[in-house]
Amino acid sequence: MKIEGMEPVEILQKLIELKTANQFCNLEDPEDESAPNGMTNDKVAKPKELTKHIRQLIKHSQFKQYKLSAQDVIVIADLWHYHLEFTGRTSSWSSICLSAKIDTYKVSDCLDYITFLLERNIICFDEKITGNYYLNPMILQSAEYTLSKEFTLRIMGRDLMADLELCLKEEWQDSQDFLHDLRLIFDLCYDSFAELGNRFSQLEYPILSTCLNLLKDRIVSAKKSLGIKALALRYGLSENHIYIILLTMYHQLHRDDRITEPDLILSLAPDPRERWLLLKHLNDASVLISEGIINKQPQYHKAQVCSLGISDDFLALLGCRAKTAVKSNYKGLSPFFEKCQTKQTLDNLILPEVDKQLLTVIINKCRTDKSNELSKWGFVTDKDKTKQGLVILLYGAPGTGKTYTAGAIANELQRELVMLNVPELRNKYYGETEKQIKKAFTEMREMASREANPPMFLLNEADQLIHNRIDSSSTCGTIENTIQSIILEELETFPGILILTTNLESNMDEAFFRRFDLKLKFSLPDLESRYKLWKMYLRKEIPGSLDIEVDQLARRYQFSGAQIALVVHNACSEAVSRTGKNKRLYLDDLLKYAELEHPWSNGISKSIGF
């Protein structure tokens, strides 16, 4: 698509080079090539050339739909120049108006022009703007702007519609072809455009509109037996109905989260004046809602916000199955989870009596909901009522029984214990860990909310995921802080029972401690507990174990339960390798491996000797 041998990007390059001649150009009429009175031919040479290139861009077939003026072209040239020089940077309303030669003190004129550029999708916001800037123009003053992605593609000589058409199947034979192209088209655009310069995962309207129009045109020309077309004919669905279904369906089946009602409205109606029309299609009397094609589900982390989904019956009609929640007894768990085998009970726990009493309180709190009674005492707030679950922190020295205790709590409550697999959540690719964590919490919420007897969840060594905020000047710091924000938000309204354990509570941000409903510190075992631990691990089945004086071991070594278990195991491994009457456990075996372990006993020196 060349004019006089020049592509749009070449025309803009010429305009940028001639920028210093702007003041000589009659921006109101690019056809007028006459020189101002008193100017020589040399002085009008550059304005004439500038005017010629402005006219070239206005008449270019790529831009006819935008109905550009000379003023627009100068603004576009400046924005393009800024885009090339400062990739990723944005422009303010005042800088755009200066390019357009509008006095910034004429605020109304400036903002009217900004609005006109937005309406034609020449520029777009660089952030998520939900307010109605027709009612409150000051919103436009605080926003930042860039050239829209679709307009930028046209500058580079690309036709998005034509490029995407090449990816579609030649003809849809059945619903599987439709589903294939639905995912392909949206995946291509979300992967290519949603993260480029966008601070929120949302496609700019011109890009989204291209995807939807392509799919809609293909639906119109498809056979009547095609699921989506049969649905449209059966209920007399309009173009907007189809767009809502397509976008909702894609997010439900192929994105990490269902799309929310506000995000869908904002995506399909960037012009605030048109949003009320779309909202009508999602009220209780609309065909989509009244016929059960689309259902609304209140979000856990945002009050008064609903996510949208296609009902299972209609998904089947459209040729696919719904993403089912994890079924009872939790078969087919995602790789994020691991079901723990727990047999321990509270009686098996060897802890100081005061800690056991606290555990009993925790278990009773997990079993009963006292909110109604507490509300009479003035303790339960509206925030408390939105949260039905418990988040519990077990923290303290390594090997003191935190994970073992979590299993005992689960057994006492007669629930399965499902552990989050942190290595599966961590991903080397940029942005993937955040998505994995969101997906894992979504599945946990589904299990906690839908199961008759939901599992209890365990995040072991939680410090691998949650910690103090770090310097956000680096990419790594930004990612880690984003992860912290996601988890904080999830903990705020988590509906189930989640236990976190850590050995490094000092590394946790204070904001996390405020999210824990109950906290229990595990200290190293006292003398009585160490005595019981030695007796427990020196089982009677071990030859020679009954002859060993554990009282002396308990006094001499201030070990954790895990260390005691390790010493006994190592000593028995050596004893079992002997033959004859020496194939038994001796005190010296235990002393040998206890001395090897002693330097690692949490930095505590020996107490007393024999």
Q: Rounding to the nearest 10 degrees, give the CA dihedral for residues 264, 268, 270, 275.
A: -80
Higher pLDDT residue, 160 or 610?
Answer: 160
Q: Helix, strand or coil for residue 24?
A: helix
pLDDT at 39: 40
Average pLDDT over residues 74-96: 89
Higher pLDDT residue, 461 or 530?
Answer: 530
State pLDDT tens for residues 248-284.
999 888 875 678 898 899 999 999 999 998 999 999 8
State pLDDT tens for residues 554-580.
999 988 888 898 899 999 988 888 888
Average pLDDT over residues 158-166: 89
- Give every CB contact of residue 90 below 8 A, 6+ residues apart in sequence: 126, 144, 145, 146
Q: CA-CA distance, 241 to 228, in Å (whole number)?
A: 11
Burial (CB < 10 A; 0-12, 13-18, 19+), residue 170, is exposed
pLDDT at 53: 87
pLDDT at 372 over 60: no
pLDDT at 132 over 50: yes
- According to the per-residue pLDDT averaged within each range, which of 187-191, 343-347, 360-364 is highest? 187-191
At 33, is the pLDDT very low, low, confident or very high (cuts 50, 70, 90)?
very low
pLDDT at 41: 44
Burial (CB < 10 A; 0-12, 13-18, 19+), residue 439, is middle
- What is the bridge-based pairing of β-strands 518-522 and 390-396? parallel
pLDDT at 268: 93
Q: CA-CA distance, 62 to 57, in Å (whole number)?
A: 9
Average pLDDT over residues 85-96: 87
At 472, is the pLDDT very low, low, confident or very high (cuts 50, 70, 90)?
low
Name residue, tokens 């089946």. 253
pLDDT at 473 over 70: no
What would the DSSP string read from start to end of 258-318?
PPBHHHHHHHH--SGGGHHHHHHTTSTTSHHHHTTSEEEEE-SSSTT-EEEEE-HHHHHHT
- What is the bridge-based pairing of β-strands 145-147 and 123-125? antiparallel
At 433, is the pLDDT very low, low, confident or very high (cuts 50, 70, 90)?
confident
Higher pLDDT residue, 139 or 362?
Answer: 139
Amino acid identity at 437? I
Tell me if 185 sits within 8 A of 168, measured CB to CB: yes
Tell me if 310 sits within 8 A of 248, measured CB to CB: yes
Higher pLDDT residue, 539 or 28?
Answer: 539
Average pLDDT over residues 331-353: 77
pLDDT at 141 over 80: yes
Tell me if 209 sits within 8 A of 278, measured CB to CB: no
Tell me if 271 sits within 8 A of 134, measured CB to CB: no
Token digits of residue 408: 């005992």
pLDDT at 230: 92
Q: CA-CA distance, 438 to 257, in Å (whole number)?
A: 8
Least confident of 169-173, 200-204, 503-507: 200-204
Token digits of residue 473: 């000047």
- Measured CA distances, 170 to 64, 87, 133, 167, 211 (Å): 29, 38, 42, 9, 16
Higher pLDDT residue, 431 or 286?
Answer: 286
pLDDT at 338 over 60: yes
Instruction: Quote the distance between the C-alpha of residue 524 and its chain's center.
Output: 38
Q: CA-CA distance, 480 to 325, in Å (whole number)?
A: 29
Token digits of residue 553: 């071991």
Please provide residue 456's backbone torsions phi and psi, each rounded to the nearest 5 degrees.
Answer: -100, 140
Higher pLDDT residue, 599 or 299?
Answer: 599
Token digits of residue 509: 């941000």
Token digits of residue 148: 């829209």
Tell me if 272 sits within 8 A of 133, measured CB to CB: yes
Nearest to 500 by CA among 511, 491, 492: 491
Percent of the chain surpassing pLDDT 90: 31
- pTM for the full model? 0.55
Percent of the chain surpassing pLDDT 70: 81
Tell me if 420 sits within 8 A of 440, measured CB to CB: yes
Q: Which residues on adjacent β-strands are paired with residue 183? A: none
Domains assigned to the chain: 8-155 (1.10.10), 160-323 (1.10.10), 337-522 (3.40.50.300), 527-600 (1.10.8)
Average pLDDT over residues 408-421: 88
Please provide residue 34's backbone torsions phi and psi, each rounded to the nearest 5 degrees.
Answer: -75, 150
pLDDT at 4: 47
Mean pLDDT of the chain: 81
Tell me if 68 sits within 8 A of 57, measured CB to CB: yes
Token digits of residue 290: 């009244």
What would the DSSP string read from start to end of 202-259?
---HHHHHHHHHHHHHHHHHS-TTSHHHHHHHHHT--HHHHHHHHHHHHHHHHSSSPP
- Give every CB contact of residue 226 below 8 A, 6+ residues apart in sequence: 172, 174, 175, 178, 219
Q: CA-CA distance, 367 to 48, in Å (whole number)?
A: 83
pLDDT at 27 over 70: no
Q: CA-CA distance, 453 to 61, in Å (whole number)?
A: 63
* Helices (H) then strands (E): counts for the chain: 28, 10
Tell me if 459 sits within 8 A of 501, measured CB to CB: yes
Name residue, tokens 């308990």. 554
Token digits of residue 525: 């075992």
Higher pLDDT residue, 305 or 603?
Answer: 305
Least confident of 179-193, 407-421, 437-451, 583-597: 437-451
